[in-house]
Amino acid sequence: MKILFVAGDPKPERWTVPIKELLPEAEVYVWDPEGPAVGADYAIVWQPPEALFEREKHLKAVFNLGAGIDGLLKVANLPEALTVVRLEDAGMSVQMAEYVLHQLLEASRGMETYREQQRQSLWKIHRPIKRSEWPVGVMGLGHIGKPVARTLANLDYQVSGWARGEHSLKGVNTFAGPDQLGDFLKATRVLVNTLPLTDETRDIINYELLSQLQPGAVLINVGRGEHLVEDDLLRALDDGTVLRASLDVFRKEPLPEGHPFWQRQEITITPHISARTLRDATLEQITGKIRDHAAGRAISGIVDTDRGY
């Protein structure tokens, strides 16, 4: 079989060498924008160019180097019948749960207050938190959202979850569909977004949505920057609808130097690091699926391109 690596990594050998070790029977190629077609059976990609699908006409499946496939679905000439496979976890869900927990504790435990007291050489103990005052709502209950919700519920936070379809999750009160979104928001003070980016979810975090959260609301966005209407968040911070926000994803990355988010003390900014792709786990998963697919065995992680995930 022939495998084509299309990810724009300046050191593609970091990927291609272990691919060859895991699939010694395969011929592994690196995408060359000026090169000829290689007749690839499979492509491993991250935000591939349209030229890939113009040139490689015999692809059996394309494997995305990430759980979010919005960058791949933007490619105008992505063949409708082509099997698209997303990354399932590969170590990302644990990282995401850690990140969300850290941001939640920063808010609920008032850790900035203690850091400020240290700067002032001030020893002062504040009352313990009541977890009942910090109900969390997780938007999106997929391979990332479910572990996040479970982690917080296991620490005795009151956790709700909302998704497009019905889900059942121990210790988590679940809501489904547009009709139940309002009830979910009313039960939420700390909103955690892990949704996939689709036409339905783009701009979903707007002022109307934020205004339905409980007083003293906190936003943690680890989904996509396009989920958030940035001016609406600034408005919500200005009028006190939202107390603080932790943002790891942005409409434009890197976040431009003059962006107003940089100047807001209520906003914590991180450079899209909440869950990094772990190369070894990723390649073990993808090469295993390529072997199974080539042998005619069923694989998981196939994307419904109409739904966007």
Catalytic residue among 235, 251, 264, 272: 272
Rounded CA separation 198/185 (Å)? 20
Of residues 161, 164, 194, the one with CA closest to residue 275: 194
Q: Are 52 and 31 in contact (CB under 8 A)?
A: yes
Catalytic residue among 86, 164, 224, 227: 224
- Tell me, yes or no, if 293 is annotated catalytic: no
Rounded CA separation 143/206 (Å)? 25
Q: Are 205 and 229 in contact (CB under 8 A)?
A: yes
**Peptide bond preceding 254: is omega within 30 degrees of 0, i.e. cis?**
yes
Handedness of CA 176, 90, 69, 303 (dihedral sign): negative
- Tell me, yes or no, if 272 is annotated catalytic: yes
Cα distance between the two ends of the chain? 27
Rounded CA separation 5/13 (Å)? 10
Question: 151: part of which helix (H) or strand (E)?
Answer: helix 145-154
Q: Which SS3 state, helix, strand or coil, does residue 205 take?
A: strand
Strands laid side by side in the 2-6 sheet: 27-30, 2-6, 42-45, 61-64, 83-85
Token match 């941001």: residue?
A: 103
> So which residues are the catalytic ones?
224, 272
